[in-house]
């Protein structure tokens, strides 16, 4: 279903407000290479980026390449990532993912959505993080912040992340997909929290449906 003119107008206001608020929004996961970003993104599931960034320096000093991760001993990897939570499953996914990259892509992290989502432990959210921040390919990352704010701002009515992604793709210029995701995430962390959002201090309250103002006013 195509977005209504009112939703399109609201989306333009959201884009402008976010660009003014967060001109330097960026990926919060520290990384230098595509494989580092891929591993960090897997670790970030049910974990804060800040916690992941505390873990990855020692992790990346121990495992430097796809081959290193593919050949990792599960117990050792689990020990290094334990504080990120769900560490056994994450270690299993990291090792399996890197083995697949080694077998299917000659040890190079692939640069297309289709190839990335075929890797163990990699869904559309993780794939879009990699594409947008490691390869410069625009992608909308629907994490909990992006999903929550998109619904609150009336940009989507869906809970399913894939449906939210496609709704946003229809509203946001493709060139802005990656930075738009970062800006929504920044706003979700700093202002529009899951509990107790600071609506009074929000630059978008004047057109946010949550506060009862006409969406196209």
Residues that are catalytic: 125, 143
Distance (Å) of CA 159 to CA 23, 148, 184: 28, 9, 16
CB neighbours of residue 16 within 10 Å = 12
Q: In whole angstroms, what is the distance from residue 77 CA to residue 92 CA?
A: 9
Query: Measuring CA to CA, which residue among 147, 156, 141 is closest to residue 188?
Result: 147
Angle at the Cα of 74 from the Cα atoms of 71 and 77, rounded to 5 degrees: 90
Please tell me the number of Cα atoms within 13 Å of 48 on its side-chain side. Answer: 5
Instruction: Considering only CA atoms, give the Rg of the chain.
Output: 18
């Amino acid at each position: 279903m195509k977005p209504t003119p009112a939703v399109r107008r609201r989306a333009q206001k959201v884009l402008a407000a976010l660009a003014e608020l967060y001109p330097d929004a960026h990926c919060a996961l520290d990384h230098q290479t595509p494989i580092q970003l891929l591993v960090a993104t897997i670790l970030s599931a049910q974990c804060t980026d800040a916690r992941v960034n505390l873990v990855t320096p020692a992790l990346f000093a121990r495992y430097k390449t796809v081959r290193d991760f593919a050949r990792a001993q599960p117990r050792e990897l689990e020990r290094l990532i334990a504080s990120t939570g769900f560490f056994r499953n994450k270690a299993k996914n990291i090792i399996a993912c890197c083995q697949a990259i080694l077998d299917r892509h000659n040890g190079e992290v692939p640069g297309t959505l289709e190839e990335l989502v075929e890797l163990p432990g990699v869904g559309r959210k993780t794939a879009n993080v990699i594409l947008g921040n490691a390869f410069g390919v625009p992608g909308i990352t629907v994490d909990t912040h992006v999903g929550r704010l998109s619904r609150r701002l009336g940009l989507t009515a869906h809970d399913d992340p894939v449906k939210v992604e496609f709704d946003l793709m229809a509203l946001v210029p493709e060139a802005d997909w990656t930075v738009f995701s970062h800006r929504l995430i920044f706003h979700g962390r700093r202002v529009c929290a899951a509990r107790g959002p600071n609506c009074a201090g929000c630059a978008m309250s004047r057109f946010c449906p949550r506060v009862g103002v006409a969406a196209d006013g």
